[in-house]
Amino acid sequence: MRLLLIFLLLVAATAKAQVITGQHCGYDFTSYLVVKVHEKGQSETIKNLRISLADSLGREVFNINNLLSWTKRNEPLVFSMNYKIDNTGAKVANDAPDSRWFFPFAKDQYLLSVTNTFKAENYYLKVQDIDGKENGGEFETQLIQLFPFNMYVLCSSENERQAQQFGPRTNRPIEVFLELKK
């Protein structure tokens, strides 16, 4: 009987300890890469670009078995444009009244969800103009090295840990300046 009582107390104590550890953040296992692309001297985001993760040779990286991202399994990791939603969560036009950005931290920028174990320093951004006519000319393709500080870490515990480190701060978009081909 004593053994049963001790066992029940032990189970109750561990259950209480699990509740005390705190609530998890919805972004616990996810970080984001946010890219702000514009022409030198301009502030407007350039649309219709293909921005993807690449290796050092410029080859697109595939998300084999969700190793790099929890979405787009076994597909190339390509950035998408942020978009606006209404009060019901439905996607709406950018100029719709009472709309807000789906990812408020990204505004009118490109973004990609990656795992929190993503090693940014092993990858590059490949920025390509897929339809030069749409943008008033064709922009040069760029290959840009990524760094750990390029990632958006959205959970407060991770932000607190990174705030104590020296060096460039996280949660800032990667700023890319494009030039027209001559």
pLDDT digits (tens, 9 = 90+) for 103-134: 888 889 999 999 988 999 999 999 999 876 67
**H or E element: which one contains 111?**
strand 110-115
pLDDT band at 24, cuts 50/70/90? low
Indicate if the pLDDT at residue 14 is higher than 70. Answer: no
Lowest mean pLDDT among 24-28, 29-33, 72-76, 123-127: 24-28
Distance set, CA 181 to CA 38, 78, 129, 138, 141 (Å) = 14, 23, 10, 6, 9
Tens of pLDDT along 49-102? Answer: 999 999 999 999 999 999 999 988 999 999 999 999 998 888 988 888 888 888
Q: What is the pTM of this model?
A: 0.76
pLDDT band at 5, cuts 50/70/90? confident
Domain boundaries, the chain: 25-178
Q: What is the per-residue burial (b if ≥16 Cβ within 10 Å, else e) of 112-121? A: bbbeeebebe
Percent of the chain past pLDDT 90, that is, above it, reads 36
The token pair that represents 177 in the structure block: 């300046």
**H or E element: which one contains 157?**
helix 156-163
